[in-house]
Chains A and B, each alone.
Chain A
Amino acid sequence: LAKTTQPISMDSYEGQEVNITCSHNNIATNDYITWYQQFPSQGPRFIIQGYKTKVTNEVASLFIPADRKSSTLSLPRVSLSDTAVYYCLVGDSFNAGNMLTFGGGTRLMVKP
């Protein structure tokens, strides 16, 4: 089972780039890496997903090295509204027994 490890918390300032790394040493061949954002009293919200190399969308980039044992979520020019908990999720929802595992999450605090 792919277990993930993330920093518990990070601080940043408005306008800076934030990089959050997730370690997943036991990632399986069919597993994808997905990042979610969660605000208090809300369900998680999808940010980005990837399998290898680099993925970019309008809000973030995801960097995955060749061995896929870690991944880095990059948030460009954060604002106060990016203060949230960020979860790294590794899994393949199609295969029974390959559980979708959320990490402990990284609590990002963006300061003015």
Chain B
Amino acid sequence: EAGVAQSPRYKIIEKRQSVAFWCNPISGHATLYWYQQILGQGPKLLIQFQNNGVVDDSQLPKDRFSAERLKGVDSTLKIQPAKLEDSAVYLCASSLSPTSGRDEQFFGPGTRLTVL
């Protein structure tokens, strides 16, 4: 079974530029998550989708971050414009069950973003 795919794996941009990350979850997984992990910290949930609807985006900085999952499958996370403090690893995860918190999240390898 293929895992969660993310691209690119690494990205270096200058502040005020825009960047987009792509995630393809495990086939059949209804729930998709985007996390931000700053070096030395635990992952912080940015947004959670169930199929193509947003379940939770309370920690997403909506003035600069946006995410979509138009067909309920793959997803894109965008930052526009980027700030220095956005340097982090952006992790995508997916899970099977759409109705319960008691399921396992499968994480992708992450995209390491460096903002100069």
Contacts and interface: CB of A to CB of B under 8 A. Distances in A.
Interface residues of B, number: 30
Contacts of B98: 94
Interface of B: 4, 31, 33, 35, 41-45, 48, 55-56, 58-59, 91, 93, 95, 98-110
Interface residues of chain A: helix, strand, loop or mixed (majority): loop
A51 B102 CA distance: 8
Nearest to B112: A41
Contact of A97 (B58, B104, B105, B109): B58
Interface residues of chain B: helix, strand, loop or mixed (majority): loop
B112 to A, nearest CB: 8
A93 B43 contact: no
B56 A92 contact: no
Contacts of A51: 102
23 contacts: A41-B109, A43-B107, A43-B109, A44-B91, A44-B93, A44-B105, A45-B107, A46-B104, A93-B95, A93-B100, A93-B101, A94-B98, A94-B99, A94-B100, A94-B101, A95-B101, A96-B56, A100-B33, A100-B48, A102-B35, A102-B44, A104-B42, A105-B42
